[in-house]
Amino acid sequence: MKYQVMRIEEDLDFGCEERGADEPVMAVVVLKDENGTESRIRQEDQMLYDWNIEEGDTVILNENGELRKVLSGDWTQNCNSKNVDTTKFVNMMQAVKAGKQIDWICPFCSGTVERLEQKGGKTVIGCTSCDMRIQIEN
């Protein structure tokens, strides 16, 4: 599901104690989903800066429950310009190519990425909800 970032607030709720020295600074992000329902989630403040997530952005939650901006345009160009863990990406591609069901969320629409077709020496991996497709040789 896609969300719009309505507000980003400093997380000041540490209970009765101060934030531990080894604990990351957290932010509370107020999101509005496609149905207009608002929710609040805690995210690492530095991660919001690293991914340039700001109020007004359209975001999704990735496989790890972390916010990511919804990508648009040429997905290969977008992926090349981001901090992509290449090893993880290749391993996920190989797992999907082998037909394994893995938890992989589309960075464009938050749909499910899976093997769509395998024939003629080629495998097509893509999103079941949008037109994101990757064709690889078997």
- In this structure, the strands spanning 3-10 and 58-61 are antiparallel
pLDDT tens for residues 44-61?
999 999 888 999 999 988
Q: What is the pTM of this model?
A: 0.60
Amino acid identity of residue 110, one-letter, is S
What are 95-123's pLDDT values in tens digits? 888 888 888 888 777 788 888 888 888 88
**In the chain, what are the domain boundaries?**
3-69, 75-137
Tally the residues of the chain. 138
